[in-house]
Structure 1
Amino acid sequence: MTVTTGPRVELEFDARLDRRENVADGVLRLTFTRVDGDAFDPWEPGAHVDLVLGTDLVRQYSLCGDPADRDVLRVAVLDVPDGRGGSRFVHERLTEGSTVRLRGPRNTFPLLSARRYVFVAGGIGITPLLPMVRAAHAAGADWRLLYGGRTRAAMAFGADLAREYGDRVALHPQDEVGLLDLDALPADPGEGDLVYCCGPEPLIAAVEERAAGWPPGTLRVERFAPREAAPGGGAFDVELAETGVTVHVPEGRSVLEAVEDAGVQVLSSCREGTCGTCETPVLDGVPDHRDSLLTDEERASGEMMMICVSRAHTPRLVLEL
Structure 2
Amino acid sequence: MPGTTTCQTIDNIQVDTGSQGLRILASALTPALALPAVTGTSGAPTASCTVFGSGYTWGSVRTADVHLAGEVAASTSIQIIADPAVPAVPASCSNSGLPMLTATALRSNGILGVGPFTADCGSGCATTALPRWYYSCTSGACVSATLPVAQQVTNPISNFATDNNGVLIELPAVADTGASSVSGTMTFGIGSQSNNQLESAQVLPGNGVTGFVKTMFQGSTYATSFIDSGSNGLFFPLTSMPGCGVWFCPTAPQSLTASITGTNAATTSVTFAVGNGLSLFATGNNALSNLAGPANGYFDWGLPFFYGRRVFTAIEAQVTPEGQGPYYAF
| TM-score, length of structure 2 as denominator length | 0.28
Return the structure number with greater helix share. Answer: 1
Q: Which has the higher contact order (CA 8 A, sep 6+)?
A: 2
